[in-house]
């Protein structure tokens, strides 16, 4: 994979706001592609297959695991989720400058193990009380699912130390600005700009 391609992982406990933040980031940066994961979870109202997720049944998911079709996969809140290698290829073939992964800490660890230059951002809620309220306000899951996701939050937050950046999503506009700032800084890293500098040097030699 191209070394100057930004691999940006965004993780958080469920309800902290990473989907909201990721959507805003993709609107600001048309040169970033969203990696559409496979999942065995049922679609929520308004979710579209192929845009939000590739919704598949368990047998299909397991056969993809068997065929080593995933760059990473994990069991999260009782369902399976995974990033297909073909999805990464698709994003790269579109000529984008980066790929955004909305995946959990287990998937983040697998991507980081394969690509140590991948950038991890962990989103925290301002408080556990607010996290619960956001899960309830989203109104897309039943009470048992909300309870299960809330119980898992502590275990997920314990993994914040495996990420490069941490954003507290309290004021939404500020959190969006912080995520944008991280992307701008990461895009400006010398390693990702080396191609541009070399092109200029080559052109100046040709003059
Ligand atoms: P996640 O993808 O992390 O599960 P979502 O992006 O779906 O979380 O956000 C959960 C709920 O919280 C949604 O209803 C969303 O509109 C709301 N939300 C997100 N960020 C904020 C914020 N900073 N302040 C208040 N509500 C928020
Ligand atoms: P949700 O069901 O709320 O869309 O997502 C639940 C959790 O699964 C979130 O933490 C989300 O980041 C994670 N997730 C979504 N796609 C993937 C994936 O492809 N791989 C992994 N490991 N986690 C994922």
Q: What is the CATH number of the domain that holds 163?
A: 3.40.50.300
Query: Which of 21, 76, 84 has the most ligand 2 atoms within 8 A of CB, as the residue to mutate?
Result: 76
State how many domains the chain has: 1
Instruction: State the distance from the centre of ligand 1 to the C-alpha of 161, rounded, in angstroms.
Output: 22
In angstroms, rounded to a whole number, what is the distance separating the alpha carbons of residues 110 and 194?
27
Which H helix or E strand runs over 155?
helix 143-157
Q: How far apart are CA 137 and CA 115, in angstroms?
A: 36
Q: Is the pLDDT at 194 greater than 70, yes or no? A: yes
Q: What is the mean pLDDT of the chain?
A: 94
| pLDDT value at 2 more than 70 | no
Ligand 1 lined by 172 (C-beta under 6 Å) = yes
Domain that holds residue 142: 6-206
**Least confident range of 158-162, 172-176, 191-195, 203-207:** 203-207
Q: Answer yes or no: is pLDDT of 1 > 70.
A: no
Does residue 26 lie within any of the structural domains? yes
Phi/psi class of residue 85: alpha, beta or left (left: φ > 0; alpha: ψ in -120 to 50)?
alpha
pLDDT of residue 75 exceeding 60, the answer is yes
Distance 190 CA to ligand 2 centre (A): 31
Q: Is the pLDDT of residue 76 over 80?
A: yes
Residue 166 resides in a domain:
yes
Q: How many CB atoms are located within 10 Å of the residue 74 CB? A: 18
**Domain membership flag for residue 1:** no
pTM of the model: 0.95
Q: Taking every pair of C-alpha atoms in the chain, what is the biggest distance, in angstroms?
A: 68
Query: Has residue 43 been placed in a domain?
Result: yes
Q: Taking Cα atoms as reference points, which of 68, 56, 148, 71 lies closest to residue 103?
A: 71
pLDDT, tens digit (0-9, with 9 covering 90-100), for 100-149? 999 999 999 999 999 999 999 999 999 999 999 999 998 778 899 999 99
Residue 42 lies in a domain: yes
pLDDT at 51: 95
Question: Is residue 56 assigned to a domain?
Answer: yes
């Amino acid at each position: 994979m191209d070394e100057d391609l930004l691999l940006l992982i965004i993780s958080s406990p469920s309800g902290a706001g990473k989907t909201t933040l990721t959507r805003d980031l993709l609107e600001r940066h048309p040169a970033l592609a969203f990696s559409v994961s496979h999942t065995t979870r049922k679609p929520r109202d308004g979710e579209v297959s192929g845009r939000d997720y590739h919704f598949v049944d368990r047998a299909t998911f397991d056969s993809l695991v068997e065929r080593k079709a995933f760059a990473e996969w994990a069991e999260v809140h009782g369902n399976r989720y995974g990033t297909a290698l073909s999805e990464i290829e698709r994003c790269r073939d579109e000529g984008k400058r980066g790929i955004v992964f909305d995946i959990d800490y287990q998937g983040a660890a697998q991507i980081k193990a394969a690509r140590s230059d991948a950038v991890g951002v962990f989103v925290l809620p301002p408080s556990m009380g607010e996290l619960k309220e956001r899960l309830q306000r989203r109104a897309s899951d039943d009470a048992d699912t909300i309870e299960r996701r809330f119980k898992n939050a502590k275990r997920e937050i314990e993994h914040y130390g495996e990420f490069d950046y941490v954003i507290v999503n309290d004021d939404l506009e500020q959190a969006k600005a912080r995520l944008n700032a991280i992307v701008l800084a990461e895009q400006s890293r010398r390693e990702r700009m080396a191609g541009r500098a070399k092109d200029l040097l080559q052109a100046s030699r040709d003059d």
